[in-house]
Amino acid sequence: MHEMPGKNTVYLQIEGIDSKKSNNLISCLNHGIKEEEEGVWRVGEDDVVSLFNLERNIVVQDAKAGKYISESRYLLLSFVLEVPLDAEQFVLGSKKCFLKKMRANLIPSIRKARFRQEILLMFLSVKRAWELEDKEDVDFLLYEMKRASKESKKNEEQMLSHVLGATLSKLKNWKKEGGNEQDFVDQHLYPFLDCIFLQDKKYGYTQSNGLIPHANKETSFFSSSSRKKKEEAEAAANSDESISSAKSNFFVFYPLDNEKFGLLCVEVKKPGYTGTQSLSDRSNLALEMKRSIDTQAFYGVHFPRCLGLLVDGLSATSFVAELTSHGLYTFLELEEFSLLRGKADLGILPDTVLSFCWLKSLVDEAANMIKKKRKTAPDAGISASNSYKLVKPTVAFPTKKSNSSRCSSCLI
């Protein structure tokens, strides 16, 4: 059985610093393959493929010259195009109308659900009883809420009642500060992941063992069409010359036909933690999601897709990445939302649950695409997937980071 080269992460927010949108300037020894993408991808009056090729060629020349580049431009070397919420962060230009049209082109067809007023009123009743420390009333109202959500057969309502119960249990021994990263995950993140994802028995989760190759090993997991070359690439990436700091925390995978298809990568960083790695967690997450997509393409999935969650302190950002028919990996920022800081934040729980439920519905959709493909051609492998032909190598990890956080000629 081939282990899925996956990387899973957890992300946090440093007080006063929006570390998710990194202004890091980095330097790398490798610049990826020289080829340009072909075809046309019209978004309004602009051609995304032409704009991408133009910008990537500039980045390649800058990398060859040893210049420092921004992380969003570094991702272009691996054919990863970040599509953020903020037009000022968009590497192909800051025209808001262009970014808006492109996001509309890429946003998943499955939209975020909404709660019925009835279930929200029941949530408020539980919350009020809990604030009054009426345990007997809390237990009864929570039971009624779970029964009503089960009868409605609405998944998001059932998840709200389950997460609410788990969160109220956590709040009994809530820690304001201190502890390690695992303590933070257990308290702030695990109730959502466990109730919404891990209770679904068709999924598993694990720590990642995938590493990004060291700068002197410009090796792609999928640069060859043969399984032997793929295994050699995996061995090189897991050698002592790999960067161990590129590991992420964990990922949710879909097991099928003795393979593990990673569908949700999670990056977490404890509040107040400042890392020394040359690449931000956001960019690490983008490359890990690309790695998962490459694995899916290798095993014959026609429309490979991976979801991502970046937790930066109490701020979370969700992403979806896919390999387009134009050969570009789009790294689309879906939305930003908050985790609970403490007891006073219980009122935001419904919104946070909806954000996780949206991610879950997109993961389910990706799993169904994989299952459908494996049912029709479980042993077809590479030859059955046109997406495999579009896979691009991942460039090596950056060698160093500039001491300067800003550079007018390099940012974006």
Average pLDDT along the chain = 81
- pLDDT level of residue 206 (50, 70, 90 thresholds): confident
Q: What is the pLDDT of residue 385?
A: 54
Q: Which of 90, 132, 75, 133 is nearest to 279 (CA)?
A: 75
- Rg, the chain, Cα only: 22
- pLDDT level of residue 23 (50, 70, 90 thresholds): low
For residue 110 the two structure tokens come to 């499955």
Q: What is the pLDDT of residue 271?
A: 81
Q: How many helices (H) and strands (E) does the chain have?
A: 11, 12
Q: What is the pLDDT of residue 367?
A: 95
Has residue 207 got a pLDDT over 70? no
- pLDDT level of residue 232 (50, 70, 90 thresholds): very low
**Do 60 and 34 contact (CB within 8 A), yes or no?**
yes
Q: What is the pLDDT of residue 178?
A: 64
Q: Which of 59, 66, 29 is nearest to 214 (CA)?
A: 29
Phi–psi pair at 252, nearest 5 degrees: -95, 130
**Do 112 and 92 contact (CB within 8 A), yes or no?**
no
Has residue 370 got a pLDDT over 70? yes
Q: What is the pLDDT of residue 381?
A: 43
Q: Amino acid identity of 215?
A: A
For 186, other C-beta atoms within 10 Å of its C-beta total 15
Has residue 306 got a pLDDT over 80? yes
Has residue 395 got a pLDDT over 60? yes
Has residue 1 got a pLDDT over 90? no
Given the structure tokens 């002592």, which residue do they identify? 240
Region 186-198: mean pLDDT is 93
Q: Which of 332, 257, 334 is nearest to 301 (CA)?
A: 257
Has residue 329 got a pLDDT over 90? yes
- pLDDT level of residue 35 (50, 70, 90 thresholds): confident
DSSP 238-272: TSTTS-GGG--SEEEEEEETTEEEEEEEEEEE-TT
Residues paired with 255 in a beta bridge: 260
- pLDDT level of residue 226 (50, 70, 90 thresholds): very low
Region 369-387: mean pLDDT is 60
- pLDDT level of residue 302 (50, 70, 90 thresholds): confident
pLDDT above 70: percentage of residues in the chain: 77
Q: What is the pLDDT of residue 216?
A: 34
Cβ contacts of residue 362 below 8 Å, gap of 6+?
108, 110, 305, 307, 320
Q: What is the pLDDT of residue 31?
A: 78
Q: What is the pLDDT of residue 283?
A: 93
pLDDT digits (tens, 9 = 90+) for 75-106: 999 999 999 999 989 999 878 899 999 999 99
Enumerate long-range contacts of 153-159, CB under 8 Å, 24 or more apart. 154/113, 154/116, 154/119, 155/357, 155/360, 156/113, 156/115, 156/353, 156/354, 156/357, 157/115, 157/116, 157/119, 159/195, 159/196, 159/353, 159/356, 159/357, 159/360
**Do 213 and 339 contact (CB within 8 A), yes or no?**
no
Q: What is the pLDDT of residue 374?
A: 60
Q: Rounded to an integer, what distance in angstroms lies between the CA atom of residue 93 and that of residue 96?
A: 9
Q: How buried is residue 240: exposed, middle or buried, by Cβ count under 10 Å (0-12/13-18/19+)?
A: exposed
H or E element at residue 318: strand 315-323
Q: What is the pLDDT of residue 293?
A: 94
pLDDT digits (tens, 9 = 90+) for 266-278: 999 888 777 667 7
- pLDDT level of residue 221 (50, 70, 90 thresholds): very low
Region 380-399: mean pLDDT is 72
Region 204-215: mean pLDDT is 52
Q: How buried is residue 109: exposed, middle or buried, by Cβ count under 10 Å (0-12/13-18/19+)?
A: exposed
Q: Rounded to an integer, what distance in angstroms lies between the CA atom of residue 35 and that of residue 49?
A: 13
Q: How buried is residue 238: exposed, middle or buried, by Cβ count under 10 Å (0-12/13-18/19+)?
A: middle
pLDDT digits (tens, 9 = 90+) for 115-171: 999 999 999 999 999 999 999 999 999 999 999 999 999 999 999 999 999 999 999
Q: Rounded to an integer, what distance in angstroms lies between the CA atom of residue 118 and that of residue 111?
A: 21
Has residue 11 got a pLDDT over 50? no
Q: Which of 99, 50, 102, 101 is nearest to 412 (CA)?
A: 99
Q: Rounded to an integer, what distance in angstroms lies between the CA atom of residue 154 and that of residue 163?
A: 15
